[in-house]
Amino acid sequence: MTEPKHQIRALHTDSTVTVYQAYAPEIGLPAARESRFPAVWQRDWMTWIKPSFLWMMYRCGWGSKEGQETVLAVEIARDGFEWVLRHACLSSYVRGVHPDRATWQRQLKRSPARVQWDPERDLHLQPVPYRSLQLGLSGEAARRYADEWTVAIRDVTPLAHEIHTLVSGGDLGPAARLLPQERPYPVAGELLNHLRPGEQAGRPAVG
Can you spell out the DSSP letters for 92-156? Answer: S--BTTBSSHHHHHHHHHH-SEEEEEEEEE-TT--EEEEEEEEEEE-HHHHHHIIIIIEEEEEE-
Element (H, E) at 9: strand 9-10
pLDDT at 101 (0 to 100): 76
Q: Are residues 91 and 47 in contact, defined by beta-carbon separation less than 8 angstroms?
A: no
pLDDT band at 168 (very low <50, low <70, confident <90, very high): very high
Q: Which residue, among 175, 47, 161, has the nearest Cα to 123 in the 3D structure? A: 175
The CA-atom distances, in angstroms, between 98 and each of 75, 113, 197 are 32, 16, 10
Q: Are residues 5 and 131 in contact, defined by beta-carbon separation less than 8 angstroms?
A: yes
Q: Looking at residues 134-163, what average pLDDT do you find? A: 97
Name the residue type at position 67.
Answer: G
Segment 2-57, tens digit of pLDDT: 778 888 999 999 999 999 999 999 999 999 999 999 999 999 999 999 999 999 99
Q: Which residue, among 64, 41, 79, 84, has the nearest Cα to 164 in the 3D structure? A: 64
Q: Are residues 18 and 10 in contact, defined by beta-carbon separation less than 8 angstroms?
A: yes
Q: Are residues 102 and 14 in contact, defined by beta-carbon separation less than 8 angstroms?
A: no
Q: Which of 12-26, 126-140, 189-203 is predicted least confidently? A: 189-203
pLDDT at 170 (0 to 100): 97
- Average pLDDT of the chain to the nearest whole number: 90
Rounded CA separation 61/144 (Å): 28
* Number of Cβ within a 10 Å radius of residue 41: 16
- What three-state secondary structure class fits 5? coil
State the helix-helix crossing angle for 157-168 and 53-60, rounded to 10 degrees.
Answer: 80
Is the pLDDT confidence value at 205 over 50?
no
Segment 74-118, tens digit of pLDDT: 999 999 999 999 999 888 777 767 667 787 878 878 889 999 999
